[in-house]
Amino acid sequence: MLKKPAERLNNMKTILVTGGAGFIGSAVIRHIINDTEFKVINVDKLTYAGNLESLEEIAANDRYSFEQIDICNSAEIKAVLEQYQPDIIMHLAAESHVDRSIDGPGEFIQTNIVGTYTLLEQARDYWSQLQSVKKAEFRFHHISTDEVYGDLPHPDDLDSSLVTVGDALPLFTETSSYAPSSPYSVSKASSDHLVRAWHRTYGLPTLITNCSNNYGPYHFPEKLIPLIILNALEGKPLPVYGKGNQIRDWLYVEDHARALVLVATKGKIAETYNIGGHNEKQNIDVVNTICDLLEQLVPAKPVGVEKYKDLISYVQDRAGHDLRYAIDASKIFKDLGWKPEESFESGIKKTVQWYLANHQWCANVQDGSYQRERLGVC
Ligand SMILES: NC(=O)c1ccc[n+]([C@@H]2O[C@H](COP(=O)([O-])OP(=O)(O)OC[C@H]3O[C@@H](n4cnc5c(N)ncnc54)[C@H](O)[C@@H]3O)[C@@H](O)[C@H]2O)c1
């Protein structure tokens, strides 16, 4: 027999998501509200990367709440845990842009390491006081990156007549050694170690996922794919680092969101799951694909531009740039049945179409006007 709505609301799990106004966090929250019955609390500081407009379609839902909180503020984290009594914490809040971490590592150390430590300590305190059933079911899910593993051999380093991209080359598995290269990946690696230690030492029920590069709608326009789309439409140079041969394993963000909620609710405590898209692409191939799509979708180009590809501009490589990342996602498939639904071809087309239809979102997030004008926060 179907439960009455009020009863259903009472039995429903409550998930606290940190960083829910960011690119991946907002996809997770849209998925939770649209496809599950869970309640969700979005805890986000609203840095330049956090945009509540990305959540506009679900913001009025009575299963959604927002709290503007810095995860480094232990008193506010304590209060929000006491108020909402979550069953699951999904921790996505982070500084996430590698170039910014090279220019100014301090914020990355603060949010990604000190913030994760603060959250773990408050979660431990909250969890240790829960009643037995709720305590046994509680989970702390830490969302991390494949960049903690450093980089992998690149086909250009090998005899190129024998290997093609992705063929017979090693992949990151859950047992790969940590060898982070940038201040960003070091800060994420440190946070992973903290999470494992809080499980091993204090018994906090934790899970970790390490994912490859995401792409899709609502991605802040400083990252490669939205930057290339928007620059091309404005006739600006399309910056490509070094030779453009860096390989990333691209995953459509909505596939990642499904994987994360599955791990948070069905994953085994203390386990790590690698998540990837089986889409190894060189950066230059990604840029060329976007240019080809724009040729079809927006043939009328800015004045003086004959072909979008003419805008490609090779720039000095990023310091310490990792050459290749690639994920073996067989464990999450075997244990939890997850696999990506989107191919790179279908996902990148959807992404380009989304940016073409959402110029205003891009303008608003770049100047912060949505939050200032509609919500009175900055
Ligand atoms: N984007 C990717 O390709 C990718 C891949 C693998 C893993 N990850 C991880 O996934 C998580 C989310 O990544 P993203 O791309 O959505 O990042 P993002 O930069 O788009 O969003 C980060 C969010 O965290 C919030 N935030 C930052 N500092 C905070 C603080 N001190 N307190 C509270 N909130 C704070 C921001 O306001 C923003 O909403 C990160 O932990 C990142 O390391 C990202």
Considering only CA atoms, which residue is closest to atom 13 of ligand 1?
24
Q: Which atom of ligand 1 approaches the CA of 48 most closely?
A: 37
Q: Find out whether the beta carbon of 188 lies less than 6 Å from any atom of ligand 1.
A: yes
- CA of 97 from ligand 1 middle (Å) equals 9
Selected catalytic residue, list 87, 95, 147, 254: 147
Q: Which atom of ligand 1 approaches the CA of 220 most closely?
A: 20
Whether residue 6 has pLDDT greater than 50: no
Nearest to 318 by CA among 195, 203, 204, 181: 181
Question: What is the predicted pLDDT for the residue at 8?
Answer: 47
pLDDT bracket for residue 1 (50, 70, 90): very low
Going by their DSSP bridges, the two strands 214-215 and 39-44 should be labelled as unpaired
Instruction: Domain ranges for the chain, please list them.
Output: 12-220+250-280+321-345
12-220+250-280+321-345 has which fold?
Rossmann fold (3.40.50)
Percent of the chain with pLDDT over 70: 93
- Look up residue 58 and give its amino acid: I
d(CA 197, CA 219): 32
Question: What is the predicted pLDDT for the residue at 106?
Answer: 98
Percent of the chain with pLDDT over 90: 88
In terms of Cβ atoms closer than 10 Å to its own Cβ (0-12, 13-18, 19+), residue 92 is buried
Question: What is the predicted pLDDT for the residue at 165?
Answer: 58
Nearest to 182 by CA among 246, 240, 269, 105: 105
Buried b (16+ CB within 10 A) or exposed e, 20-49: bbbbbbbbbbbbbbeeeebbbbbbbbbbeb
Question: What is the predicted pLDDT for the residue at 369?
Answer: 82
Whether residue 5 has pLDDT greater than 60: no
Whether residue 48 has pLDDT greater than 70: yes
d(CA 269, CA 204): 9
- CA of 185 from ligand 1 middle (Å) equals 13
What's the pLDDT tens digit per position in 71-106? Answer: 999 999 999 999 999 999 999 999 999 999 999 999
In sequence order, what are the beta bridge partners of 214? 251
Structure tokens at 73: 């503020």
For 92, left (φ over 0), alpha (ψ -120 to 50), or beta? Answer: alpha
Q: What is the pTM of this model?
A: 0.94
In sequence order, what are the beta bridge partners of 274? 210
What's the pLDDT tens digit per position in 7-34? Answer: 444 568 999 999 999 999 999 999 999 9
Q: Find out whether the beta carbon of 51 lies less than 6 Å from any atom of ligand 1.
A: no
